[in-house]
Structure 1
Amino acid sequence: MKVKPITTIKTVVETIEQGGTDIKVFSLVDPDRWELPPFRPGAHIDLHLPGGMVRTYSLCNDPADNKRYLVAVKRERGGRGGSVKLHDEIKVGDTIGVTLPRGGLKLDGDLTHHVFVAGGIGVTPFLSAAAFLQRSGRPDFRLHLMVRGEPPLKAMLAPLMKTGHVVVHDTTRSGRPDVASLVGLPSPGVSVACCGPESMLDDFEQATRDWPGQRVHIERFVPPALPVDRNARPYTLALSRSKLEMRVDPGQTMLAALVSLGIDIPASCCGGICGSCKVDWLEGAPVHRDRVLSPAERARSLMVCVAGSAEDRLVLDL
């Protein structure tokens, strides 16, 4: 049995451009050049690559640019192989399956100022946000970009640097600035967001601990290590629509259990940060270990790659 809670659409690689050292920018379009499904600024898509790899990337173009999805990919030689495959094997004209966009930044109209903090290629979602805000007549934002040497995607950043919307901090010259000083104190109408390496995100989380949660946004590259739950107990995982059940043992992931049942679940990061494997739950008491769902979303959804159960039985809407 195959259950696919996330729709995949077919796209074609229209162009591949250099975005800096070890960075390629891929423009994905509908085969017939129709409009693509809409997305929020900086939303994510999963690319289904040859060999069964699924990798998640942020969109870096304006949502109004609705006939293409633009993703920038840095070649990570020590990564899991997705970026190397994109750089070395994917060519113009190739077909790539793409999930519907999800997530992104909520740049509500009642927010009057936005502070974005990025490290290196983590700038991608904020390029999309900047384009959206400027087009919407709301250009009150500042992007602090930490780099080592030349910034990535310089051609896309150049207009924003010229207007003063982007401040580039070359850490090889003066070290990384204090994140708390960039973020400042909580103020009405101000939102803050960060995307970058784990140490930067840790500093950002500390700097924003007193901010209202709905005005703080974090994007992660690498899932944090999950602590070992020494109190974990086996539980029964039940699928309401499929009428299937199975026992999930301590140390076994819910995702692995679903795969063993023949359920086809999209998965990319397998660490609770990308949002690919979101599934609705109906009964029970999930243990949420992800870093992507809001409290409101957790009331009805979970990420099967990292979620557990606090009770003996958990029912999913599958």
Structure 2
Amino acid sequence: MKHVQTVVREAAPAGPGVRRLVLADPDGWPLPKAKPGAHIDLYLPGGLVRAYSLCGDPAQADRYVVAVKRETAGRGGSAFVHDALAVGDALGVSLPRCTLPLAPDAAEHVFVAGGIGVTPFLPMALAAERAGTPWRLHLLHRDAPPLPDALAPLVETGRAVLHDTARAPRPALASLLGPAAPGRHAYCCGPAGMIADFEAATTDWPAGAAHVEHFVPPPLAPDPAACPFTLVLARSGREAALPAGAPLLPAIRALGAAVEASCEGGICGACRVRWLEGPPLHRDRVLSPAERERDLMACVAGCAGPRLVLDL
């Protein structure tokens, strides 16, 4: 598992309850390239691993920029970033992963964000602008928006529209998205209720034209197709008998294989593993149907057959 060592070059407020970090290589070298819409994991003290979207200009190869909202009911990661992390501190991060890429064949992009969910769309909007692809950004927020300095030039062009739901009712997402149209792709990142409304508004859109990224993993109900199975690690030959519905990630680790993990809820893409024999049960929100033919997300996957053989 490859980690990148960075140092905090800047740390400053960026809207209510939001802290913006600029991370750089300690010696000033370019960082591994990130696609617009990508995120990285921050490796924090106490074994905390937290994923945050990159929100800086994707053309700036010498830095990663993240914006962290303080979560009062969180598990301690955002509190550490706000209260303890200082300019000059060393910070390990993961290689960038992109589970919300810009559709390469799109004729138009429509982004809908809720609060701090705007972060992945800032670099995506810049990339679309440079590619000459039309785009629109709708940000729904309460009172002052996050990252006002980054949003200001986009608002001035009229491409980004702010909707303060403390002053007016939340607009219907269908009215912001418009109807399905050839080449139109829509993207949403925000709280669970907004994503549910977005998915309802795009139910009749063509397959693959609507894209979402979750703040937190959605709850997963037991899968009735799960059955007892033997987990096999192909490279070591180690195996274990598991009951139906048993979590896969701890079993893999108990057999001695190291698998990266962050959200442990099927939304970040960190624990991607190639499977060789199955069939697996896919319960993630990351992999496409084609990707599921060869890969699974170990944090939420199960098995619908007697054996699950992984390339580990």
* TM bracket, shorter-chain basis: over 0.9
**Is residue 233 of structure 2 the alignment partner of residue 220 of structure 1?**
no
Going from structure 1 to structure 2, the CA distance change for 1:141 and 1:231 (only over 3 Å counts) comes to closer
Contact kept? 2:107, 2:183, Cα under 8 Å = yes
Listed one character per residue, the Cα deviations across residues 140-174 of structure 1 (whole Å, up to 9, x for unaligned) are 21111100111110111000111111111111121
CA distance in 1, matches of 2:104, 2:195: 26
CA distance in 1, matches of 2:98, 2:3: 16
How many residues are matched?
312
CA distance in 1, matches of 2:279, 2:104: 35
Q: CA deviation at 1:179?
A: 0.8
Which of 69, 74, 77 matches 2:72? Answer: 77
Q: CA deviation at 1:230?
A: 4.8
CA distance in 2, matches of 1:197, 1:179: 14
Give the aligned partner of residue 242 of structure 1.
236
Aligned counterparts, 1:1-318, within 5 A? 4=1, 7-108=2-103, 110-138=105-133, 140-230=134-224, 232-318=226-312
Contact kept? 2:109, 2:186, Cα under 8 Å = yes
SS at match of 2:200: helix
CA distance in 2, matches of 1:8, 1:70: 17
CA distance in 2, matches of 1:94, 1:242: 39
Going from structure 1 to structure 2, the CA distance change for 1:104 and 1:61 (only over 3 Å counts) comes to farther
Contact kept? 1:281, 1:315, Cα under 8 Å = yes
Contact kept? 2:113, 2:190, Cα under 8 Å = yes
The alignment's TM-score, normalised by the length of structure 1, stands at 0.94
Of 108-117 and 38-47, more deviation after overlay is shown by: 108-117
Contact kept? 2:283, 2:300, Cα under 8 Å = yes
Gaps of 5+ in 1: none
Of 211-220 and 174-183, more deviation after overlay is shown by: 211-220
Contact kept? 2:6, 2:93, Cα under 8 Å = yes
Gaps of 5+ in 2: none
Of 15-24 and 100-109, more deviation after overlay is shown by: 100-109
Of 115-124 and 58-67, more deviation after overlay is shown by: 58-67
RMSD (CA atoms)? 1.4
Partner amino acid, structure 2, of 1:226: L
CA distance in 1, matches of 2:41, 2:236: 25
CA distance in 1, matches of 2:148, 2:228: 51
SS at match of 1:203: helix
Listed one character per residue, the Cα deviations across residues 154-206 of structure 1 (whole Å, up to 9, x for unaligned) are 11100011111111111112111101111121111211000001011001111
Contact kept? 1:61, 1:131, Cα under 8 Å = no
Work out the percentage of aligned pairs sharing the same amino acid: 56
Of 227-236 and 68-77, more deviation after overlay is shown by: 227-236
Q: CA deviation at 1:105?
A: 4.0
CA distance in 2, matches of 1:296, 1:45: 24
CA distance in 1, matches of 2:271, 2:262: 8
SS at match of 1:103: coil
Contact kept? 1:105, 1:129, Cα under 8 Å = no
Contact kept? 2:229, 2:305, Cα under 8 Å = yes
Contact kept? 1:40, 1:105, Cα under 8 Å = no
Of 308-317 and 258-267, more deviation after overlay is shown by: 258-267
CA distance in 2, matches of 1:268, 1:79: 15
Q: CA deviation at 1:231?
A: 5.3
SS at match of 2:37: coil
Of 240-249 and 49-58, more deviation after overlay is shown by: 240-249
Q: CA deviation at 1:108?
A: 4.6
